[in-house]
Each structure stands twice: as C-alpha cells, then as structure tokens.
Amino acid sequence: MNVLKPHLRTTIETLLASGTSQHEIARRTGVARKTIRRYYRALAANSPGVATGSEPATGQTPPPRPPGIPPGSAVAAPSAIASSACEPHRAWIEAQVQLGRNAVSLYQELVDTQGFAHRYNSVKRFVATLRARAPERFDVLEFLPGEEAQVDYGQGALTLVRPGGKYQRPLLFVMTLKYSGKSFRTTVWKTDQEIWAQLHEQAFHALGGCVEYVVLDNLREGVIRPDLYEPTLNPVYAALLAHYGVVADPCRVRDPNRKGTVESAIQHTQGALTGKRFETIEAQNAWLVQWEERWAAPRIHGRKKRQVLELYREELPHLRPLPATRFRFFKQESRTVDDSGLIQVGASYYAALPAAPLSVVTVRLYAQELEILDRTGQVVRRHEKAQRKGSFHLEASDRLFNPSRETARLLSKAQQIGPQTAAFAQALLARLGRPGQRALYGLTNLTRTHPRADVEAVCARLLAAECYSYAAVKRALDRVAATRTLAAAARAPALCQSDAVIRPIADYQAFWDTHTPVLPSLTQDTPHAHVDP
C-alpha cells in the first residue's frame, strides 16, 4: 500500500466512513483510485461490523478503530459504493442516449424534472458506460501469390543529420507482399511525388518482380485528391505504375485497417530499430538489408505458421516480370501558351503549336528533354532542354505570318514565273532593301491578271534598261493589255442591220401576233358588282 501523509490518510478515511464515492474522493484529494480502494479494503477488514472469521477470544484487546469512524458505525458495503446514482433512471437515460443527447443535457433535465441530487460526473460516467461499443470485427483478407503489395511510411531510428548536427528520425518506407509477408525497407530524409515513385521502383527491383495491385494510404505523395469512387493519383506515380503494369488501390479515407499487413511490418521494423542510433542514413539502410536477410525473412510468419522466406520463394514465380527499361522520372507542371505560340519553362521558351494560343498545356520535364501534352494527355511536342536562359527555337511551320520573314518565299515565287522575273526581283530588293518586299508582293501577284509570258518579257526589257520599279512593270503590262484589246477590237467584224444569218423584222412581228393572247377591250360590256347607294 502506498504510504500517504497523515492528513491525506485521515481525509480519505473520513470520506469513506461518510459514504462518499471513490470517484469523488479521488477528485477532491488527487489520490489515485487504486490507493483509495486499498485504504477502503484495509478499513473494512479492521471494522468490527464486518465478519472476517470466528469471534475474538475472550479478553483479547480489539484493534483500535481508524480515526474519524465513530464507535458503532458500519462502513458501507462495496456494492453500495460501486453502484451508480443514475441506476434508478437507467431506462430513461438509455432512451435519451439513443436519441443522441449528451450527458450535460441529461444531467440538467434530471435535476430539473426528477430531483437528481448528485453530481454531473455521475451522469457522465454512466452515459460513457452506455455508449461503450462492442469490439469491432475484422475479416481476414487473403490474396493469391503476386496479387497485392502494401506500402506505407513510418519512422526510422535516430540518425545523425550531418556531422556535428543533431539526431533525427528519417522516414521509413516499407513495401510488403501480402501473400508471403516479404518486405522491402529503406529510409529517406524527405519525400515528394518523385521520391515516392522512386521508392516503388526500388522495391519492385529488390523484390524481383511486380504485383498486380498496390494498396496505399491517402498521403499526398501518392493520392492528390482522395475520393471514395475515383481518387486522383499523383501523375508521376500513375505513370510509373503504368510503366510497370501495376494498378493502385488506395484505401478508403480513415480506413488504415485495409493495409494491416504493412502496418504490422512497420511495427516489426521499428521494434528492431528501438534504441539504435546511426551516424548516416546509408548505414541505417545497410543495417535494414542485413536485418531483413538475417532475421526478418527467415522468421516464422505469426498467422501462417510458415517461414516468410519459404512463402516468398513460392510467390516469386507469380510476380510479373520487370520491364526491359527503367522508368524515366519527370516533374509535371502546367503552362499557358502565349500569343506567339510559345511556353516559358525555366527562363527558356519552347514552341507549343498545335496547341492554341492562351490555352493551358501540361509539361513533363525530364533530365534532358521536355514533353508538351494537350488536355487529353497526348504528347503534341518534344523539345531538347535549352542550354541558356531566354533562348528559343521556332521551326518555319511554327512561326505565325510575319512579312519580315517572307523574302525567301517571294524570291522563290518570282523564280517560278521565270528567270527574268527572278533577276528583276533580286535587283528590286537590292535597290530598295527591306521595304522592297512590298514591291515583291505586287510583282509576284501580277500573274493573277496578266500572262506569265508578258510579265517575263516586261521584266527582261526593264532589266536591260536598268529601270527597277514595280510601277514601271505595272504600267508596261497595262499598255500591253490595252494594245492587245485594241487589236482584238480591230479584228472584230462591223455591226449591220441585215445579213444572211439575221431574220427579217417581219418574221418576229408575225410570231408575236400569232402567239400573243387577245385581251378584252375596256369598252365592251362587262358585268359590274352591285354597289348600294
């Protein structure tokens, strides 16, 4: 029995003698209920009102009474102290608790309507016992070999962050095969979407194959938006699982029991790491590998009663083979296409066409290149990463229309008209410079209204005369066209009133008289409608 100070012991014995409950005594004195209970038992054993054996021998001096208990008084029986003051109102309280009412409102109504004279704590304890639920049952989840793996983070052992620094606990990553219980364990200082995916790849290669499903918690490294029906995965993680042919199966929110196998594996690992310290995180990872091979894998599985290593050898042929190449990790970002068809990534610019200007595209950044994806997730462009800031490269097909970049096209168009026109265009551009491109537009468009041969002939004459002017070419072509029109008019026959091929005018008059209907004369009698005056 704990030895209390005299004043506390006297207080406890006095309260016990007065019938005060042990809860109330503990609240008033601050003494643990276990200690109060021991004092009560000792007090009840020394009380003459409690029969503990045969009657004392005649002339034997009885033991002294505890102070504070009057002679002839009896100590309350244990059942009286243990019973709740709310017991007479049990039926009413149970009905109210089922309606969802709390202990405070029940206590207030008991005091107001039923004359309840005890404390609120009695009602609170009584309601707590009514709300105690039966233990929850869980099913035993069984899966085929190679069907499922479970992953989660825990805390590793204390590790020195840097020389001369302090010790901290790194993150402990564990992937456990559901069928065999074989685990991959490693520690990292920090985590993000890419590191989470990298740890999965390390685990697949360490275990020698891939499973069909991987069960994970709703941590943000793996699940961006938790949802009961269709959760959204981290894009890097989703691409890695697609590369290895694995399907993610996130747990329901606040339902960690779905991945109890890896939870047990983490507790098992942390139990082995308890009390250990490592100077580097590499030393801790090396210790985890050695511990897995020496102790964890050869152990007997607690429920299956078989060696984990034996179960793993049985499961290994059922794991999916690893792909021929490793996954290319990337970082995914969003960018808006500007009005020139470019996006800015890392202070450099890249062509995003055929993505529309001002549209939002997805960019995947790899080690040496980047990919641009549209809204459907299809890759529309690939570019090598720029080596300096502010640089950009646009193909001719990526450039929007700009007259200052049309020189080569216009000269090529002039070449198609003829060699004289091409030479005249070169001379025109050399004389006028960049503004001469406007004249080149007019020169190459003359073939819309004039024959190519005429344009070629006029350019040849003006080249010989060293007259480099678009207006001169246009005037010369207009004169050629006017001359040709006059010549054609001169060759046309003159108009005449009579000819062998022209019918006489009398034939047309006879045809008209024969086929025109006779109209009634206005002077003939015609019926009129009667009009009332």
pLDDT tens by residue, 340-366: 889 999 889 999 988 988 999 999 999
User: Does residue 261 or residue 59 have the better pLDDT?
Assistant: 261
By three-state DSSP, how is residue 343 classified? strand
Residue 15's pLDDT band (boundaries 50, 70, 90)? confident
Which tens digits make up the pLDDT trace of 459-516?
999 999 889 899 999 999 999 999 988 888 888 777 777 777 788 888 888 888 888 8
Please report, to the nearest 10 degrees, the dihedral formed by the alpha carbons of residues 299, 301, 305, 308 taken in order. Answer: -70
What is the arrangement of strands in the sheet containing 167-168, beginning at the earlier edge strand?
Answer: 167-168, 158-160, 277-278
Q: Which CATH number fits domain 331-398: 2.40.50, 2.60.40, 1.10.15, 1.10.10?
A: 2.40.50
CA–CA distance, 150 with 173 (Å, rounded to integer): 11
Per-residue tokens: 92: 């009413």
**Domain 148-318, CATH homologous superfamily name and number:** Ribonuclease H-like superfamily/Ribonuclease H (3.30.420.10)
Which tens digits make up the pLDDT trace of 255-310?
777 899 999 999 999 999 999 999 999 999 999 999 999 999 999 998 899 999 99
The stretch 40-47 carries a mean pLDDT of: 75
Instruction: Check pLDDT > 90 for residue 195.
Output: yes
* pLDDT for 48: 53
Instruction: Check pLDDT > 70 for residue 419.
Output: yes
Per-residue tokens: 42: 């000792």
The dihedral built from the CA positions of residue 232, 237, 241 and 247, taken in this order, carries a sign that is negative
Which of 112-116, 385-389, 393-397 has the least mean pLDDT?
A: 393-397
Q: Which amino acid is at 138?
A: F
The stretch 143-172 carries a mean pLDDT of: 95
Q: What percent of the chain has pLDDT over 90?
A: 54
How high does pLDDT run on average in the chain? 86
Q: Which amino acid is at 170?
A: P
Which DSSP category does 288 fall into? H
Phi-psi region of 19 (alpha: psi -120 to 50; beta: other; left: phi over 0): left
Which DSSP category does 525 fall into? -
Q: What is the pTM of this model?
A: 0.58
* pLDDT for 76: 45
Domain ranges for the chain, please list them: 148-318, 331-398, 403-484
Concatenated DSSP letters of 417-457: H-HHHHHHHHHHHHHH-TTHHHHHHHHHTGGGTS-HHHHHH
* pLDDT for 489: 80
Residue 405's pLDDT band (boundaries 50, 70, 90)? low
Residue 78's pLDDT band (boundaries 50, 70, 90)? very low
Concatenated DSSP letters of 183-249: EEEEEES---HHHHHHHHHHHHHHHTSB-SEEEE---TTTEEE--SSSPEEPHHHHHHHHHHT-EEE
* pLDDT for 436: 83
CA–CA distance, 231 with 250 (Å, rounded to integer): 8
Instruction: Check pLDDT > 90 for residue 201.
Output: yes
Instruction: Check pLDDT > 50 for residue 531.
Output: no
